[in-house]
A = this chain, B = another copy of it.
């Protein structure tokens, strides 16, 4: 009826509880003969150590908290799905499971994390959607709750984080387009001030500059909210310019999709590269910068389980991962 316990296994194998425990936790200390007997009993009974008892005993839940946010209704597709799966997969490799919880806002998130941590339900937490000046890292640090952040706040020296090298992504897009013969390459991004958006703009600008293509291209840097309509509208602006670009680097696939729509409507020629490699990109045959999310997942679990931040000050706390450009038809040389 109830799952078997060490006691049951011990009885079945004719040994004591502790020998069973030893077989599992320190096999070398048990005579092969006895071990075999115990292992057979374990097999036959289908015994699994009770994780709850283990947790109580070890004062460790082997659970990692993760706040699942309501979906942004305007986002055409995000990498959140991929991230969560990658995190779960990375957790499996480290014998950790994810505990999902909800919260009303970042403050509430910290409060819920504290409650879960005090209750012994989680050992730490992974933070997603980090913004500049995000209150969660300092909050959790003060509570001395282990965490790792996906993204940077601007004050990241004191806690573990993992981030994508956004600038490298747009730079790679520019390289690719320059190689394809393009000389006037525009950028369509979201408003200045958003950290991620600014870094993506930086990569574009820097790469252009390295090829001496930056002069007089101020009209080629357009910003707006992250939506299909905005992408569409900004593409109109670009195409209507006397010296229009021949290629566009977009800060997101959503913006890129908007650009593509205008391009198709006007039968214009304009190479486009997006960012994030969402399913939308695949569907539209849109070249896109792909974030190495699986690697991020592993890095975050490692960062979280690694040395406690603050204990060895001065150590590197962060990790920057390079994205990869996926080339599709939208940026094929004419």
Interface residues of A (CB under 8 A from B): 2-3, 46, 48-53, 55-56, 59, 61, 63, 66, 68-78, 80-82, 84-85, 88-89, 91-92, 97-102, 115, 118-121, 227-229, 254, 257, 264-265, 279-280, 282-284
Contacts and interface: CB of A to CB of B under 8 A. Distances in A.
Contact of A118 (B48, B56, B97): B48
Given A69-B85, A77-B280, A283-B254, A50 B120 contact: yes
Contacts of A69: 85
Nearest to A115: B48
B77 A76 contact: yes
B115 A75 contact: no
21 contacts: A3-B118, A3-B119, A46-B118, A50-B56, A51-B119, A51-B120, A52-B52, A52-B55, A52-B61, A52-B121, A76-B279, A76-B283, A77-B77, A85-B102, A88-B100, A92-B102, A97-B101, A228-B283, A229-B283, A254-B283, A280-B280
A228 B278 CA distance: 14
A259 to B, nearest CB: 13
B71 A88 contact: no
B284 A228 contact: yes
Contacts of A88: 68, 100-102
Nearest to A54: B119
Given A48-B119, A227-B283, A97 B100 contact: yes
A84 B100 contact: yes
A283 B101 contact: no
A82 B55 CA distance: 31
Given A56-B56, A99-B63, A119 B50 contact: yes
Contacts of A76: 77, 279-280, 283
A97 B70 contact: no
Contacts of A85: 68-71, 102
Contacts of A48: 115, 118-119
Contacts of A100: 66, 84, 88, 91, 97-100
A211 to B, nearest CB: 33
Contact of A101 (B73, B74, B92, B118): B92
